[in-house]
Amino acid sequence: MAETDIYARQTFGQKLGLGRSPALLVVDFVNGFNDPEILGGGNIGAAIEATVPLLSFFRAKRLPVIFTRIVYAEDGSDTGLWCEKVPRLRDLTEHARASQVVEALSPQRGELIVRKTQASAFFGTTLASLLAFRGTDTLVVTGCTTSGCVRASVIDAMSNNIRTVVASDCVGDRAIEPHRANLFDIGQKYADLLEAREIMKAIEA
Amino acid sequence: MAETDIYARQTFGQKLGLGRSPALLVVDFVNGFNDPEILGGGNIGAAIEATVPLLSFFRAKRLPVIFTRIVYAEDGSDTGLWCEKVPRLRDLTEHARASQVVEALSPQRGELIVRKTQASAFFGTTLASLLAFRGTDTLVVTGCTTSGCVRASVIDAMSNNIRTVVASDCVGDRAIEPHRANLFDIGQKYADLLEAREIMKAIEA
Amino acid sequence: MAETDIYARQTFGQKLGLGRSPALLVVDFVNGFNDPEILGGGNIGAAIEATVPLLSFFRAKRLPVIFTRIVYAEDGSDTGLWCEKVPRLRDLTEHARASQVVEALSPQRGELIVRKTQASAFFGTTLASLLAFRGTDTLVVTGCTTSGCVRASVIDAMSNNIRTVVASDCVGDRAIEPHRANLFDIGQKYADLLEAREIMKAIEA
Amino acid sequence: MAETDIYARQTFGQKLGLGRSPALLVVDFVNGFNDPEILGGGNIGAAIEATVPLLSFFRAKRLPVIFTRIVYAEDGSDTGLWCEKVPRLRDLTEHARASQVVEALSPQRGELIVRKTQASAFFGTTLASLLAFRGTDTLVVTGCTTSGCVRASVIDAMSNNIRTVVASDCVGDRAIEPHRANLFDIGQKYADLLEAREIMKAIEA
């Protein structure tokens, strides 16, 4: 494929590998992004299922697990342009069912939950600072959507010099073409792409 | 198309319109991204040509014009993971020919030039702060690549609550599929898409 | 005084004046910083009292009001070095009495409440972005402590190019010397200093 | 002294200690801040002298050394409010003599030089990201002024969860009272204070 050719010729897509201290980042796997009637659909359900054993693995290894949720104030005081572009986002408030992490992946006490109002897990949050505090140099990323909050978070992880591996079977999107196109971009420019089982094998090693 | 359907049903893709005070952002239209032997190719040359009248329009209207360039220190002291993922990036140094804005769009004295080391024009720069200083509430975005620095800058513009219009004929990429896929994502989630002539008409109005 | 002399000779301390669109920022006026047995003391109580009419003025003029609170997760998952330097900070959790805004200044529905874990109201928050969204170009700052969260927020307001006026009688500290020394620094380098009544007069004009 | 008493009673001023991977940060020791006729004076010259052996020590140990400089564009395109508050700052341009690091501390090839336009070494720069890339968890801070760029950088280092030690004899200010007052604040809230010789001893250990 010509496109892959030009990327390779221009040195894109080098493998970064894992660092010494990985954490699992679970992006926006909340009820509202699992439900096709709200903001979900496509292969998101399958990605949630594939994340279950990966989450168990990180917990068993006592490696840090981090969740993100989009949370706006109930009185609308912290909404902005993004809620004009995608109005349904403003329903994601602290106690709304739509903004709770799906039951299959429920956060445990002590696991960091990053509340955010923008696509990236890093924007307007202390995530980068907390990774520095813990010495985390690598994020294994799962979540949704591939073309939305995953992509945005992965770009910022790169900008913050955090080594990133996207678990390709553990990210999902409401539509398959954007999912595929964004995995291509991410793999060429910002992160490694591995399946969950490959990631677990690499961490074991 | 099913994909567009689900986006519309979930309220994506609302039009944001122009604000009161627009500026033109010209992302990474430098020699190295125009040259297919370095980091360019595809429709980038055509996007540069289409930007020429838009740039003239902004200058004639005395509206602000902002350029970005990727610039790394010659001794490599400020490179990071991104230069491991795409090693050729590290050739973009202050005085390298590859990192100079293309001649057809040369910056004029007084036009802001944002030096950056990451994909987004906002990361590790004072761009957001300078937009606040000038009261700029809208960015008209041209540049390359659509799937790289344009996409990353547009996400951050949204996160910074800067109304953004991507000039769809003035952005380009080294390969057409990523170009198209990223325009789709951008239009659904982060910015309006208009051709240069539509933008000029809207600003005149 | 020689110190003021050298500052003036070196051009420090120019007046910035008010912009077109001011908001009131009430920094950390919570129970825990009002109580000398927790993190308060000094002239903080007096500063809270002096803020009451200023807050009423902003509300009567329908100008935006923004509050900040330090809020850590109850399970300690988002604490960092600052809680090692000042361990008592970690008691400031969402529902703790110590972290509620003092009754005399209770936020009203629709007034933005910025939750933060660091000294500055801008760090790890979307404050700068929300100021851009609203077109706010000026912050009138009250709160505590002058040498802590007020000082840090004012530096960041300047860095974000937000014109800042510190209401000198509406900021307080647990000890008077740091209060005075920080007002001096702030006035020379980052913000104008005016009393509440002068600020109200200036906004009326 | 009552002030110290209340700070101690409220748990301020705990010692943080050194982390595993320290770097030296030399803040704004440039000609213009050494010259009392420009932006310098006070004990800044003495602080520069005291930094000479500390810099040699870091180089001998092959520990990273980072410099900051304030640098504005020659055409004024990136100045903002800070240059209205302190107009003389805008003379600090890339090639101006005033903005060059003092000869006694000249940067060596490969040592990171952070250009900034605001007080903090972190604002609008990639410093935090580059510390993450290198695994640096501790900054030893020297430079000037104590009440300006040192204080601002130290607050942001804390916010970014970088353990910080201010070399108390290697920071200086144009006037002694602000110098002393800011060292007090820094020691209580954001960083450890040690003399250069104590720092070298601690790193040796």
A60 CB burial (10 A radius; 0-12, 13-18, 19+) = exposed
Kindly report, residue by residue over D100-126, the tens digit of the pLDDT: 999 999 999 999 999 999 999 999 999
Cβ proximity of D174 and D39 under 8 Å:
yes
Q: Reduced to 3 DSSP states, what percent helix, strand and coil does chain B have, rounded to the nearest 5? A: 45, 20, 35
DSSP string covering A59-86, please?
HHTT--EEEEEE-B-TTSTT--HHHHHS
Cβ proximity of C161 and C133 under 8 Å:
no
B135 and C133 within 8 Å at the Cβ level: the answer is no
Task: Give the pLDDT score at C4.
Answer: 77
State the number of CA atoms in the 13 A half-sphere of B121 facing the CB.
35
Q: Where residue D2 falls among pLDDT bands split at 50, 70, 90?
A: low
**Mean pLDDT score of chain D, rounded to an integer?**
97
Which residue positions in chain C have pLDDT lower than 50? Answer: 1
Statement: residue D139 has pLDDT above 80: yes
**Average pLDDT, integer, range B178-205:** 98
The beta-carbon neighbor of C133 closest among A75, A81, A113 is: A81
B77 and D133 within 8 Å at the Cβ level: the answer is no
Statement: residue A3 has pLDDT above 80: no
Statement: residue B1 has pLDDT above 70: no
D129 and B80 within 8 Å at the Cβ level: the answer is yes
pTM: 0.98
A80 and C129 within 8 Å at the Cβ level: the answer is yes
Per cent of chain D over pLDDT 90 is: 97
Task: Give the pLDDT score at A2.
Answer: 65
Q: Where residue D85 falls among pLDDT bands split at 50, 70, 90?
A: very high
Structure-token pair, residue C192: 């104008």
**Mean pLDDT score of chain B, rounded to an integer?**
97
CATH top-level class of B18-204: alpha beta
Q: Which of C94, C126, C131, C136 to mutate to test the interface with A (most CBs of A within 10 A)?
A: C126
Residues C12, C15, C17, CA angle at the centre, nearest 5°? 150
Could you give the residue numbers annotated as active site of B? 149
The architecture of the domain spanning C21-204 is: 3-Layer(aba) Sandwich (3.40)
Task: Give the pLDDT score at B4.
Answer: 77
Q: Where residue A67 falls among pLDDT bands split at 50, 70, 90?
A: very high
Cα Rg for chain B, rounded, in angstroms?
16
CATH code of the domain made up of D20-204: 3.40.50.850
Strands A163-172, A192-194: pairing kind: parallel
Closest residue in D to A157 (Cα) is: D129
Q: Output phi, psi for A114, to 5 deg.
A: -95, 115
**Mean pLDDT score of chain A, rounded to an integer?**
97
Superfamily of domain A19-204: Isochorismatase-like (3.40.50.850)
Kindly report, residue by residue over A117-145, the tens digit of the pLDDT: 999 999 999 999 999 999 999 999 999 99
Q: D136: which strand partners?
A: none
* C105-118 residues labelled b (16+ CB within 10 A) or e (exposed): bebeeebbbbbbbb
Task: Give the pLDDT score at A47.
Answer: 98
Closest residue in D to C147 (Cα) is: D185
Element (H, E) at C113: strand C112-116
